[in-house]
Chains A and B, each alone.
Chain A
Amino acid sequence: MNHLNMDALLSLREPGVEPGDAAAREHLDGCPQCQGELHRLHQRVARFKALPTLSPARDRWPETRARFKADRQRRRARMVGFTGLATAATVAAFLVVGDISRPDPIEAEQLTQMMEQSQVLEGAINDYNPEGRVLDGRTARIAGELEDRIARLDRELEMAELQQQQATDQDLLRLWRERVGLLDALVDVHVTRASNAGL
């Protein structure tokens, strides 16, 4: 008598019917040895599931968060560069075509200024490299709150950029002004702390 091999036993545990399953079941019904094998297979799988849960020995969140923040800064810088180019292109198109439906040139210019200011402030923060420094609890909390607000604002800006038809230059200008304000505050937090500590 040919007993069921492991392939056949495993196939019987799968949902659906494979070719050969019917014959295997027929054999299984009359074979206590193969019934025992299938039972052992079930037991083995049950024991795998009952193995203890393993936990990490050390906290990996601080490293993960720092890496994510650094990546977010890089992406943000790229976005600022891209948006700056896009706005410059829009302003250029306005100047050439002079279409009345195009953005107000004064607002477009203010927008470009805000973006440039934003880049300068981000450059200052990058140069200071806060990720590579140890911050006291209060500074870290305030800096963290500001960074979170900037991240939320960036999401709004991304959405506004994606919906260019709906978002007016006034909307964009408001968001960029707010961004510059928050970055300014962030620079203050770091620089004030640094100068207080004599760094």
Chain B
Amino acid sequence: MDSSLLTNAEAVVSRARSGDTEALGELFRAFEVPVYNLARRICRTTEDAEDVLQETFFEVCKSIGRYREEGSLWGWIRTIAASKALMRLRRNKYRDTDELYDEVVGSRREDTALRMDLEAALERLSETSRAVVWLHDVEGYTHEEIANMMGKTPSFSKSQLSRAHARLRGWLGEEMTP
């Protein structure tokens, strides 16, 4: 996923830089779903994810003049979104344990058993572990990048990922080799 979400990205960014709110609105429309999806996968509730969506685009509106087009537009927006989502986790100070949040899991179950199991297993992970799994395995961030965003060390990111996968392995019905 990259700037191809926006067909005329260069022109829109140029207009957005000059303060054109319509162009900023076009940026929002083009990237709101991937930003929300990332936020929702990291945050515990839809409300938090929606707040992260708003925080992210508020930052995009303010900082679009600093976007240098060195990387992809989506890459730039995604890093803002990931930082905002991690900030939200820190602020909320959820119980960072591997408890089952039945009410949340129940509200997000999909129609196939396979998907439901995977979603439920993800939900059971601690906030931090889930964030690391999603950022590393799905979004493709390195341990160094995740460590930077979290204010931790790469070893911390690696151990969170390892613990998370060992747990997921068990929860998904596959016992880990001793």
| Complex: chain A residue closest to B18, CB-CB | A152
B20 contacts across to A, CB distance below 8 A: 148, 151-152
A61 contacts across to B, CB distance below 8 A: 25, 28-29, 32, 57
Contact (Cβ within 8 A) A10 B158? yes
Q: Does B119 contact A (CB under 8 A)?
A: yes
Interface bin, chain A: 35 or more
Once the chains are docked, how many angstroms separate the CA of A178 from the CA of B143?
Answer: 51
Contact (Cβ within 8 A) A48 B134? yes
Contact (Cβ within 8 A) A67 B58? yes
Contact (Cβ within 8 A) B54 A63? yes
B25 contacts across to A, CB distance below 8 A: 61, 65
Minimum distance in angstroms from B105 CB to a CB of chain A:
14
Once the chains are docked, how many angstroms separate the CA of A19 from the CA of B23?
Answer: 49
Q: Does A20 contact B (CB under 8 A)?
A: no
Q: How does the 8 Å CB contact mask read for B142-178 relative to A, with 1 for contact and 0 for none?
A: 0100000000000000110111011011001010111
Q: Does A199 contact B (CB under 8 A)?
A: no
| Complex: chain B residue closest to A40, CB-CB | B174
* With A56-B32, A148-B21 as contacts: A34 and B133 at CB distance below 8 Å: no
Which listed residue (A7, A68, A144) contacts B158, Cβ 8 A? A7
B119 contacts across to A, CB distance below 8 A: 51
Contact (Cβ within 8 A) A54 B36? yes
* With A56-B49, A151-B19 as contacts: A67 and B54 at CB distance below 8 Å: yes
Q: How does the 8 Å CB contact mask read for A1-41 relative to B, with 1 for contact and 0 for none?
A: 00110110110001000000000000000000110010011
Q: Does A44 contact B (CB under 8 A)?
A: yes
Q: Does A133 contact B (CB under 8 A)?
A: no
Q: Does B5 contact A (CB under 8 A)?
A: no
Which listed residue (A10, A48, A56) contacts B53, Cβ 8 A? A56
Once the chains are docked, how many angstroms separate the CA of A51 from the CA of B133?
Answer: 14
Q: Does B96 contact A (CB under 8 A)?
A: no
Contact (Cβ within 8 A) B46 A64? no
6 pairs across A/B with beta carbons < 8 Å?
A4-B177, A10-B161, A44-B169, A58-B50, A64-B57, A65-B61
What is B's interface to A at a CB cutoff of 8 Å? Answer: 17-22, 24-25, 28-29, 32-34, 36-37, 40-41, 46, 49-50, 53-54, 57-58, 61-62, 65, 110, 114-115, 118-119, 122, 133-134, 137-138, 143, 158-159, 161-163, 165-166, 168-169, 172, 174, 176-178
